[in-house]
């Protein structure tokens, strides 16, 4: 199914980074058939240089690659960019999945994978990115003020005590879901729906990894940050001061 309307005029650009040329070829064909523009790279070094010259809308990164692996590439990208990232990881590399999420990946998918599933995950991440910026065109101020926290969805901007906190799309949506109703508990299922949508399955540890990453980012600016509270067996809440 090819995108129609506005999306067809300006197709999303996907950067596909994998040292397996069979995957590059087959996945590129599948994505192009769905209306995406695809740029391929066989290693992390080439991908980093290419993305710095010409940014994409989303990157799909294999974890194990020569010269620069997916983990290092993600770390380098996150120094300057909130580019949405989906990891490709081997089925046995559970630690890589968790570590990747903690480093700031938006999602992951295990090999071998269904191309249809990958396309659904790509669309879900892009929808989340668009959701974050949707307020920019509605003419209303959607900025959230919660004490020292300021969230501006129209600019994808988060500040804590005047310091910019660089969040990925998924992290921003999770924080927004919690901060909109301080003191109210959000279950992991509710947070999954807020960040991923109702039709995407991810397990609980994915949300836990994103929350750990969120806390770490805030504590880089404020070691005493404790606004995101865990209610064990229930979920999370943003503390009401």
Q: Where are the domains of the chain?
A: 6-133, 141-238
User: Residues 40-72: pLDDT tens digits?
Assistant: 999 999 999 999 999 999 999 998 887 888 888
Instruction: Select from 179, 195, 185 the least CA-distant residue to 144.
Output: 179
For the entire predicted model, the pTM comes to 0.64
Nearest by Cα to 12 from 44, 35, 45: 35
DSSP single-letter state for residue 107: E
How far is Cα 138 from Cα 154, in angstroms, rounded to an integer? 9
Whether 6-133 shares its CATH topology with 141-238 is answered: no
CATH number of 6-133: 3.40.50.2300
How confident is the prediction along the chain (241 residues), in pLDDT tens digits per residue?
Answer: 444 444 445 789 999 999 999 999 999 999 999 999 999 999 999 999 999 999 999 999 998 887 888 888 988 888 888 888 998 887 565 555 666 666 678 888 888 888 898 998 898 888 877 766 555 455 456 789 999 999 988 778 899 999 999 888 888 889 999 999 999 999 988 888 887 766 566 667 778 888 988 999 999 999 999 999 999 889 999 997 7
Rounded CA-CA distance 53/15 in Å is: 13
CATH topology of domain 141-238: Arc Repressor Mutant, subunit A (1.10.10)
CA distance 113 to 118: 7
Query: How high is the pLDDT of residue 225?
Result: 95
- Whole-number CA gyration radius for the chain: 18
pLDDT tens digits along 105-134: 888 888 888 889 899 889 888 887 776 655
């Amino acid at each position: 199914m090819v995108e129609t309307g506005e999306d067809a005029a300006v197709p999303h650009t996907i950067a596909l980074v994998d040292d397996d040329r069979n995957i590059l070829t087959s996945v590129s064909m599948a994505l192009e058939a769905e209306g995406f523009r695809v740029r391929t790279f066989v290693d992390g070094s080439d991908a980093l240089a290419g993305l710095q010259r010409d940014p994409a809308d989303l990157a799909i990164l294999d974890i194990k690659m020569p010269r620069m692996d997916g983990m290092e590439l993600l770390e380098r990208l996150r120094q300057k960019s909130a580019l949405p990232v989906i990891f490709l990881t081997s089925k046995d590399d559970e630690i890589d999945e968790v570590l990747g999420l903690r480093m700031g990946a938006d999602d992951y998918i295990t090999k071998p994978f269904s191309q249809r599933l990958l396309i659904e995950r790509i669309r879900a991440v892009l929808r989340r990115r668009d959701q974050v910026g949707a307020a920019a065109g509605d003419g209303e101020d959607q900025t959230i003020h919660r004490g020292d926290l300021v969230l501006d969805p129209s600019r994808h901007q988060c500040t804590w005590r005047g310091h910019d906190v660089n969040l990925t799309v998924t992290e921003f949506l999770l924080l927004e879901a919690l901060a909109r109703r301080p003191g109210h508990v959000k279950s992991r299922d509710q947070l999954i729906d807020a960040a991923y949508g109702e039709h995407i399955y991810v397990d609980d540890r994915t949300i836990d990894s994103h929350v750990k990453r969120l806390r770490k980012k805030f504590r880089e600016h404020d070691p005493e940050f404790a606004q995101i509270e865990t209610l064990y067996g229930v979920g999370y809440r943003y503390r009401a001061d």
